[in-house]
Structure 1
Amino acid sequence: MTGPRMIPDCVIPLRDEHAQKQSTRQLLADVFPSWNIDRIDVMSLKGGITNCLLKCTYKAGTPQEIVVLVRAYGRGTGSIIDRNREFCTHVHLHSFGLAPPLHARFKNGLVYGFIAGRSVEYHELSNPMLTKGISQLLAQWHTVLDAKAIKTLMLEQSGLKSHDIVDDIWQLCQKWISKLPTDSDAQAKTKAVLAKELVWVKNEIQYKGGPTVVAHCDLLSGNVIVPEDWSSEKLANMPPVTFIDYEYSLPTPRAFDLANHFMEWQGFDCNVSLIPTVGGPMMREWGKQYLEATHIFKRGSCEKQQNGVPVREADIDLLMQEIRTWWGMPGFYWGIWATIQAVISTIEFDYANYAQIRLSEYWTWKQDYLSAKKLNCESNL
């Protein structure tokens, strides 16, 4: 197959399990004409809170076994996620060996290669061997991926003009805020407050997050894949790590991707005790490994050196300051997102409460940020 198949009329149902499996089998028979539809097994996977993920196995248990994934988008998610960007980002990632092959795109989802392994648990994200693998792979993303190449592919695929494409996190947040409901006075007030906050936070931190990179933007534990038999108790080995799910990938300052990943250490349970301290020993070591790997990939070497490239303490200090400055943005970003999901999603998840929790992270950060700014001003008087 020279490229992903386009099957624009196929729709995979989200709720009716029987119809879902039947539609998925027919889809795969169209994508892979040599497959016998009666030999395709379909199993629903859990993990995400927006999409339906199906593991599909052809000729299970035989030497000819082939496994692919079918992802059907959650209802209404197209209004907050640019599916064309997701598709083009996946194609670009695959060209670097950073994503599985993309077999097909249908009306409400994708068919792509299966990565053997398991997603990690959020309490494993602090494991020293896992942090090393994640930091090095994220450094590769941030160094070798080309935002301009992805945008060029998007323009070719969509026929849109350049100014029609959301290019950064500020434009995306503005788009999301415009979609917030205003059915009640409380909702209208929330929308107005967040619109005002977006202007303020953009003016404050826009250019303080380091270089703009192609960021994952959703690097939670469920999107980090390791070998099935790897255990967080086995500290002696660093597992090969793969990132999945690129629907939120976007050019952003690197500090957002890093801050967001560290915030995800708390999991959906919002166990804040697991979030590392900004500038603390654990985060500094993570940052050191990230910067070492960044230097390696900038020099054109894809081989991991045992001791990496020396990184100055001043470089780590700067990275920590970037993260500290952007520490409130993940809460702001996901707070807006969850407020929309509370209205459009059919998935059983308390988005409204999650929105409040995440936005409270932003308000706490803002208070700390303004206090530090005031102290800095007074010390300079």
Structure 2
Amino acid sequence: MAIKKNGFIPSSAPEELNNVLKAVASEWGDKIQDMEEFHVIPLKGAMTNEVFQINWPTIHDDLHQKVLVRIYGEGVELFFNRDDEIRTFECMSKHGQGPRLLGRFPDGRIEEFIHARTLSAADLRDPEISALIAAKLREFHNLNMPGPKDVLLWKRLRTWLGHAKKFCSPKDAKDFCLNVLGDEINVLEKELAKDYQEIGFCHNDLQYGNIMMDEETRAITLIDYEYASYNPVAYDLANHFCEMAANYHTETPHLLDYSIYPDMEERRRFICAYLRSSGWSDVLELLHEGNEPSDAEVEQLLIDAEKYTLANHLFWGLWGIISGHVNKIDFDYLEYARQRFQQYWLSKPLLLGS
């Protein structure tokens, strides 16, 4: 992909992308004569794909159209099936969730540009915004998506472990303890998977960069569904809590700070807002209805989510190993993986005993 990362799309950009962009512009009544009219702004924070905002002038000189172009990262077929992800994306659009799909080309796609701001790491700690996210997440989990409703987590972990073993040298495999992770996955599935747990359509990548908010309406939108699947909802809550230790917009975006992992009261507040919600986003009205979950319900989900952080650490640790060998994005994937595995081994005795 020869897309220019600052300024304009050059004439050397893939013809398919040029043609799809021109088609989108034409559909909106804008006649683009020269590719120099497309202005490109790289967007930071993505770690699986490269993402760009592309603007062009409308027939009214003082106005501009905006779209988002997503260039698929290398090796993503090891993590998920792109056709399945596109079907999920289109289905989400039909449910009124996320951006619309505007066009596709071999190396990526063009999406509707959402006029909302992407959240920051600090936003996740704002109690009001956190409650809005919790309500939106409840709505997301309640979506009725096509296909089987089976939990994908354990199968995916075992598949990724196989990929990681193929990529790693004997030394790295030993350093990452890959030889024992199969047994660890078995233990986690036995200890964590319980019949009473709610299974829902989970996002599975709830970092702040995948959450957007309309400043006027305060509406929350979850984006980027590459890893979405049916899973225990406690796993998705755990994923969100783990992401609060990250800030991907620093000079060292791969470094995690578990000293700022949300404390018990912060996690309990999020889970209470989640359980109060029936899935619609007007949290303030909802909070005044007195629809309080029982203490037992809150405590059980709090315990389950904390245990599922272990599965999250293995999930993203394996992702880091594989990404470090196939993805060219400027991110220290292997060091990220080391931190996730380190946190796994530190947390396991506290959460599961020996």
**Which residue pairs with 1:325 in the alignment?**
307
Distance 1:124 1:212, change over 3 A: same
Task: Label 1:70 to 1:182 Cα distance change in 2 as closer, same or farther (>3 A).
Answer: closer
Q: Tell me, in whole angstroms, the C-alpha distance in 2 between the residues paired with 1:29 and 1:79.
A: 32
Q: Which runs of 5+ in 2 are unaligned?
A: 248-254
Alpha-carbon distance in 1 for matches of 2:129, 2:12 = 35
Answering whether residue 13 of structure 2 is matched by residue 22 of structure 1, we say: yes
Find the counterpart in structure 2 of residue 156 from structure 1. none
Q: Distance in 1 between matches of 2:319 and 2:87?
A: 22
- Tell me if structure 2 keeps the 8 A contact 1:209–1:256: no
| Residue matched to 1:135 | 134
Q: Give the match for residue 83 of structure 2.
A: 84
Partner SS for 2:68? strand
Residue 177, structure 1, aligned to residue 168, structure 2:
no
- Alpha-carbon distance, 1:263 to partner: 0.7
Q: What does residue range 157-172 of structure 1 map to in structure 2 within 5 Å?
A: 168-172=152-156
Q: Is the 8 A contact 2:307 2:352 kept in 1?
A: no
The whole-number CA distance in structure 1 between the counterparts of 2:346 and 2:308 is 13
Sort the Cα spacing of 1:265 and 1:31 in 2 relative to 1 into closer, same or farther, 3 A.
Answer: same
Moved more, 268-277 or 313-322: 268-277
For 1:13 and 1:172, the matched residues in 2 are separated by 33
Letter in 1 for 2:230: P
The secondary structure found in structure 2 opposite 1:103 is strand
Aligned with 1:57: secondary structure?
A: strand
| 1:19–1:193 distance in 2 versus 1, CA, 3 Å | farther
Q: Distance in 1 between matches of 2:11 and 2:294?
A: 54
Whether contact under 8 Å (1:276, 1:283) holds in the other structure is yes
Confirm whether residue 36 of structure 1 aligns to residue 32 of structure 2.
Answer: yes
Q: Pick which of 183-192 and 306-315 moved more.
A: 183-192
Q: Is the 8 A contact 2:116 2:213 kept in 1?
A: yes
Summarize the Cα distance change of 1:281–1:40 in structure 2 as closer, same or farther, 3 Å threshold.
same
2:294 maps to a residue whose letter is: R
Tell me by how many angstroms 1:109 deviates: 1.6
- Does the Cα contact within 8 Å between 2:98 and 2:223 map onto a contact in 1? yes
> What is the TM-score of this pair, normalised by structure 2?
0.84
Output one character per residue of 1:101-150: Cα deviation in whole Å (capped at 9) or x when no partner: 1112322222111111221211221101110110010010011x124x1x
1:246-325 equivalences in 2 (<5 Å): 246-268=225-247, 269-277=255-263, 280-293=264-277, 296-297=278-279, 305-306=285-286, 307-308=288-289, 309-325=291-307
Partner of 1:106: 105
Counterpart of 1:353 in 2: which secondary structure?
helix
Q: CA deviation at 1:78?
A: 1.9
2:4 touches 2:40 (CA, 8 Å); kept in 1? no
- Deviation by residue 1:317-336 (Cα, 9 ceiling, x = unmatched): 12112112212111111000
Q: Which residue identity does 1:250 align to in structure 2?
A: S
Question: What's the secondary structure of 2:51's corresponding residue?
Answer: strand
| Pair 1:368–1:243, CA change in 2 (3 A) | same
CA contact (8 A) 2:42 2:52 kept: yes
Question: Which residue of structure 1 aligns with residue 187 of structure 2?
Answer: 200
Q: Name the SS of the counterpart of 1:43 in structure 2.
A: strand
SS of equivalent to 2:309:
coil
**Do the aligned partners of 1:14 and 1:20 also contact (CA within 8 Å) in 2?**
no
302-311 or 260-269, which deviates more: 302-311
The aligned residue for residue 155 of structure 1 is: none
What's the TM-score once normalised by structure 1's chain length? Answer: 0.79
| Contact in 1 for aligned 2:54/2:66 (Cα 8 Å) | yes
SS state of the match for residue 298, structure 2? Answer: helix
RMSD of aligned alpha carbons? 2.7
- Taking only the aligned residue pairs, the percentage that are identical comes to 26
2 CA distance for matches of 1:183 and 1:359?
15
For the residue of structure 1 that corresponds to 2:13, the secondary structure is: helix
